[in-house]
Amino acid sequence: MYGRYDFAEPFSPWADDEFFNQGVFEGTLSERVQAALDAPHPTSNQQRLVKLVEGMTPDQFEAATFDEQPLLVLAGAGTGKTRVLTVRIALLVTAGMAQPSEILALTFTNKAAKEMGTRLKRMLDLDAVAVTATTFHAFCARMLRDYGGEIGWQTDWTILDSDEMRKMMRNCWKDRFSSPPTKDELNDVEQAHDVMFCAGNSPEEAQKDLAEASAHTVWDYQARKARENVKDFSDLITEMAQMLERSPWVLKEIQRRFKYVLVDEYQDTDGRQEALLRKILGDNPNVTVVGDEDQLVYTWRHAKIENILNFGTRWNAHTVRLQLNFRSTQNILDAANRLIRYNKNRLGKELYTFEDDGPKVAHSEFESAYDEARWIVDRIEEDIAAGVPREEIAVLVRASHALNFVEQALNQKGIRYTLSGGKKFQDRVEIKDMCAHLRLIANAHDSMAFERAITSIKRNVGAGLLEDIAAAAKRMRTDITDAARRMALGGIIPQNARGPVLQFCRTIASVAADAVHGELADVILTKLLEDTGYTDAIKADLAEAKENGDNDAVDALSTRLTNLDDLLNIAKDKNLTEFLDHLGLSEDTRKDDGKGVWIGTIHAAKGLEFFNVYLPGWEQGVLPSKQAMKGDGDLEEERRLGYVAITRARKKLHISHSLQRFGQDAWASCFLADLGFVERPDTGEVAGLYDPDAVNPFDDLADVPF
């Protein structure tokens, strides 16, 4: 180790630093850092470099300082990859390799981007603000707004969320076929859009293998988005690539702007993101990617494992492996290593730790899923009684429906729990309602926002009137709010809706004027809540609920008001466009209190860790899934899911399966044979003794009904 990782002592003021003036900044990053470590009388800036690398292992140090060619950091679970990434950025700035504004760090979730920003602020103080540390989608949104105008594109577009996407697709189907789609038909349209515009294929080629009705509806959807000046998430990546293709000047400007590019969770990149990365870099070799091919569990989102497997040869990259785990006991790591060893598509790592071996990984078999759930909850009760905090206990499953019995058992015991996948903050009714108002103010042609906003409280506006207003807007060649205003003034809408609609349109116009003059988002939102009567309507319902003694309604309505207060706080110090982008690109703005047993899917648990972990449902048709067993899915990805689940545990891990689930007989997962807990059905031999290249002896169970 390179000493202790401790930032308790304050750095010396930058003004006292003679490092720049003495011409000491020469050589590669590793040479500059090594010079600081070797200096008998280090300057204050050299002291900063030394502090940044304190406590690093040799592999972490190499990953943080190597810069002679593209770099691939294979970071196993729990090996400190976020620290390596952020220290590397801080070293680049502190050693004078780049200005903070010349560094681009990309990741996949807002949570990861926020964590990166928090750590950089501790290391770089005010310089951290200039580092672009964000998600792929947020980066593309920012570049499209910054440079789209250079090629004549509009920059005042708004972003559709997933519900609004489906609603627009539904409307496009209805317009084309004169009747609304069934649930399956709408799912087919969504899947067709995914194949045509998210998988990196040519849309024209991709549609040849799709149902004609679905493909035509997708093209209608694309045209409607363009008319209404809205985008979905897939557009951000696609249009960023198109912008770079169409404008050599924009391409050169972005390449000049970012001298160093770093990508976290690189295994999750798809073909479009990889191509975009190559465009942004051009001939620049200063790229660092950090990832773990053993934790790729998002191929259904078009992630390509080939990106990380072939990075070394494609980019002529140097590879550093991080294998020292700081999270789990050796017994847990041995189980993870043993399971993932059977996958062929991997570059290879062996996780180890210097900590104790810890308890052995346990396995149990139960007669039914109900018995399994009751046993797990009994053990959780014992864990809590022994002093383990509830939030340090997790139950993870392949599919959420396998949690039903666990939820019931926890409720029966009165044990508080947090169910992953609960409704997100921006998905709550009152938040979506006010976001619709704000989107309409930002983009007067956003018909989806108009429909939601005007019907958010009672204004006597139904589906028929909405269709009439939309048709009038097309005939008048004006935006939908203006069409509604004209119809109200002209008396051609029902009398009971005339006044409310006119008042709504005037409020939108008034607040839109404030927005144009630079009013901040929290002021705009406050005026909307007051002038539309939205808050008053909730307060009136709350008063009625209190009078009637309806405690459930009181709680629900009080929560709605609290959520609106939270929304106002989030809006502070942002202009309208910044606020809408924040909400459109956000996954979750409201923190869970985190004080209950965490139950959820393995996908949702990725990136988390817990003291004790229970893994029920390791059965054929559950993990691995039935689709993977039949060849419609990736068996190796299912094994990677098992690996991710195992490596969430720090101290205690219990894996189980039942002989009956969903009212039918069940069989132990082939992954339990990989781990040595059950025998293989054809040979009777224990897992680790077979050749991973041999035919899977569980293949004959693929047709077992589940």
Rg, Å, the chain Cα set: 28
Same domain, 406 and 531: no
Same domain, 576 and 482: yes
Sheet with 287-291: strands ordered across: 132-135, 103-107, 260-263, 287-291, 71-75, 318-322
CATH number, domain at 64? 3.40.50.300
Tell me how many domains the chain contains: 4
pLDDT digits (tens, 9 = 90+) for 1-32: 554 334 444 444 444 444 444 445 678 999 99
Q: Is residue 702 one of the residues assigned to a domain?
A: no
Same domain, 381 and 454: no
Q: Is residue 77 one of the residues assigned to a domain?
A: yes
- Encoded tokens for 645: 């689940």
DSSP string, 659-682: SEETTEE--B-HHHHHTTSSB-TT
Same domain, 626 and 643: yes
Same domain, 438 and 571: yes
Pair 313, 341: CB distance under 8 Å: no
Q: Is residue 236 one of the residues assigned to a domain?
A: no
User: Which three-class secondary structure state does DSSP give residue 267?
Assistant: helix
Q: Is residue 680 one of the residues assigned to a domain?
A: yes
Closest C-alpha among 127, 157, 128, 152 to residue 142: 157
Q: Is residue 694 one of the residues assigned to a domain?
A: no
Q: Is residue 9 one of the residues assigned to a domain?
A: no
Task: Tell me which of 292, 321, 350 is where a domain ends.
Answer: 321
Divide the 706 residues of the chain into consecutive groups of 10 and give the mean pLDDT of each group.
Answer: 45 46 69 92 91 94 93 95 95 93 92 90 88 93 93 89 90 92 89 85 85 93 92 91 94 95 94 93 95 91 91 94 96 97 93 94 94 95 95 92 84 85 71 92 91 91 90 90 91 90 93 91 93 92 85 82 84 86 59 73 92 96 86 84 96 95 87 92 41 40 34
Burial of 690 from C-beta contacts in 10 A (0-12 / 13-18 / 19+): middle
Amino acid at 636: E
pTM of the model: 0.80
Domain limits for position 673: 330-423+593-689
Q: Is residue 12 one of the residues assigned to a domain?
A: no
Report the pLDDT value the prediction gives residue 586, as an integer from 0 to 100: 57
